[in-house]
Amino acid sequence: MSAARTRIKICGLTREQDVDAAVAAGADAIGLVLYAKSPRCVTPERAGVLARRLPPFVTPVLLFVNETAANVRAACEQVPHALLQFHGDETPQQCIEAAAGRPWMRAARIPVDPAVPFDLLKFAADYSQAQALLLDAHVEGFGGAGKTFPWSRLPPNASFHAVLSGGLTPANVGDGIAQVRPRFATLAVDVSSGVESSKGIKDAGRIHQFVAAVRAADERLARSPHVPLPAA
């Protein structure tokens, strides 16, 4: 039995050498943050420069937080083939209007405290036009804080495409894939701080370690695909 291939996004890139390292390691997508309060923020023009280094079939992703539709569309002019990621408090209609027909995904910011309620299935229904939901920990600053959320609180069976994010590292991404993939139609993974030497500065060695850990997890699941879900 062949392994299902987990797609990988390296997010928060700010330097040419980091883009090149992500591509060399085998990443499927890179994330470019267009949120002024983030230490990983780049301008739309800078995002365009970095995205133009990408070879075919590696996708640039533009990350926005509560941005105006006009600014989203202006940024898309710099990176015409980008996938859009809405990571703030955007309503479904705001996402649709800002995307203007482009593919987009929506971040679901899941509380770290399991006592705080969060209905992911309702959230998915509300954002049914998203290409995927990115599952991130609800932290101050809209992501990139290296925090995980309790994976056990995810629904056991959901029909949408998911991207697991929030505190992933080369050490824990294999466990995340094993626990979370059986719950969704497909699973991809997204990492930012877990492959950094400092905020906004990626470490090529850690990127390669992360990709290798994902591939190892894929191989393990191919050998033993029926992994029981942990108790919630």
Q: How far apart are CA 64 and CA 76, in angstroms?
A: 11
Catalytic residue among 11, 41, 76, 95: 11
Closest by Cα among 109, 98, 100, 11 to 63: 11
Catalytic residue among 41, 76, 95, 136: 136
Active site residue 76: no
Active site residue 136: yes
Q: How far apart are CA 42 and CA 139, in angstroms?
A: 21
End-to-end CA separation in angstroms for the chain: 29
Residues 6+ apart with CB under 8 A from 57: 28
Beta bridge partners of 10: 30, 191
Tokens of 195: 């492959």
- Could you give the residue numbers annotated as active site? 11, 136
